[in-house]
Each structure stands twice: as C-alpha cells, then as structure tokens.
Amino acid sequence: MAGEYNDAPGARMGWDADGSILLSASVNTGTFTVGQSPGAPWAEASLANRQNVNNEDASDDWALSGNDFLAALIFPELRDIDGVFFASPTLQTGGSDFSVDTTNAIDGAWTTMSYVGFDWDLDEEYRDNIDGQSLTGVRCVRFFNSATSIDLSAMHIYGSIASGETPDRIIFLDEASGLEFGQSTAPEIMDFGDRPRGSIIDHEFRLRNNSTVAGNNLTATTIVLTREALEGVMDTWMTYDEAGGGFMTSETVTSLAPETNSGLLTLRLDVDPAAQLFVWAARTKVAVTTWA
C-alpha cells in the first residue's frame, strides 16, 4: 500500500492539461437518468477550475449554478479507465455513466457506472474511495448530483490512453521494471507513500518516443521536463538529473528518434525538514517542442 492510503488502480490522468474538456449543465430533474439530455446549455470549466477539480484539495471547488448539475468530461482520444473518484459538497442523489461514442456529451449510447460519488467535505480520504472500473475505449464520463450546494469538488480518473490512440507521444518508462508508468501491472510507480521529514528518495526512469518507424516515423526534439504542484508545495522538493549532470528544477532532452529511449533520468524527492503532516502531491510534465 501507499502508506496509509490504498494503492491507486492505475495512473491518475492529468486531464486538466491534456486537451480534455470539462462541462456542466443544469438538468433540473432531481433524478439521474442514463442518457438524459441537460435542461440548460453546457458551461465549460476554465483552466483554474479544471485544476481545482483534478487536485487533492476538498476546498477547491468548481462553483456551479442551478438546482441539479450534470458534469461531463470529454477526452480528446479514447481512454481505458481503471478507476474513478467523483465528489461534491452535500452530495444527495448521485450517479454516473459513460459513453464510447458520444460527440457532445449528449448524443450516443450511455452505460451506467455503479458509483454515486462522495461528499468530500465530510470524507477527505479520497484514495480509499476510488471505485475500480474496467472500461475500454471511453470517450466521455459524466457525474450527476442533486443538491442545494452543487459545487464540483473532484473528478479524478485513473487509467491510460486506449491502444492505437495518439501513436506519436512521449511515454515514461520505469527503469527498474521497464514498464510504462501507471500500467495496471505496476500502478504504484512514482507513489512515494508516507515520507518522513528531511528524507531523500530517488526514482530512475527514461523517456521513450512512442512514434513507430513503420508508422509516422516522427522524431521529437527539445523535450522539456517540468514539475507542477497538485496539492501543497511538493513540486519545490522535486529536481531532475540526466546522466549525472546535476539536479535541476527542469530538464531538457535534446532529441529522441522513433522507438528510442532517452538516457537515464532521475527524479529526486527531497522532503522539506519542516514539512507538516499533509497530503502532498505533484506531477512531472513533458512537452515536445517539435515533431518532425
């Protein structure tokens, strides 16, 4: 287990920064119905609100309007989902569903997920309340709440990009196992668990250009690794090193040809000696300047 928390069922999707779209609509029905259409136009979440909904802070909500709401998360490509955690303050009647073929979060076929969500104002141990799923090729997930307070606290999705989607991308490989981060066979990768103050832990990994020689044959150049806080200031404890060049707050890999791995990279977590007992979370982001 990851310290006091249950292990996550897979990698937590960074959907707030990967082109996914978060929408809400007032449905004003009082009851969730699979495949129902909203009773009002959709409202799109801002970047700040997407970040609020995809972090670990129960007090960071997306404030909505109306009596009931339906929140829809549309992915830019099909996703395989291993788990979900939805939360809203003062959750009352709740429910969730998903679609593999919708184009706008309204049309298409919808299937119920047996998950009603949580009132996160009362229950902050979100890792204990992730609902395991085994869904393939999902385009959109939706979450419903009927309550007087209808802010959306969390919409955490665990899983990966479906096979065959987005073939030209950079993936993270664990050095010890050779597996891609967050695969179902090794979901604990990069979960540091409970760490004492002042401790240092290193994790070795490589980047891989997933473009294939027989396919698009694209080379990635100027690949930049950066850090970003999700909860607290854990990002300030994270530095990167490439092949003994010294630990830095960011790292740049010059070029990766198709189907090749980078040199050895190390992520160091150096916990602040004065850190408080807290749920700290951060992530590493990778951006490719040019595909050619």
| Dist. CA 127–CA 105, nearest whole Å | 27
pLDDT of residue 47: 92
pLDDT of residue 281: 83
pLDDT of residue 157: 95
* Longest Cα–Cα distance in the chain: 60
Domains identified in the chain and CATH numbers: 15-161 (2.60.120.260), 170-291 (2.60.40)
pLDDT of residue 246: 93
Answer for the pair 163, 210: CB distance below 8 angstroms, yes or no: no
Q: What is the pLDDT of residues 216-271, one digit of tens each?
A: 999 999 999 999 888 788 899 999 999 888 999 999 999 999 999 999 999 999 99
* Radius of gyration in angstroms for the set of CA atoms belonging to the chain, rounded to a whole number: 20
Q: What is the pLDDT of residues 105-119, one digit of tens each?
A: 888 899 999 898 888
Low-confidence ranges of the chain (pLDDT < 70): 1-4, 28-40, 66-67, 124, 149, 182-190
Single out the residue of 79, 185, 98 nearest to residue 143, CA to CA.
Answer: 98
Q: What single-letter DSSP state applies at residue 274?
A: T
| Dist. CA 142–CA 102, nearest whole Å | 11
pLDDT of residue 29: 56
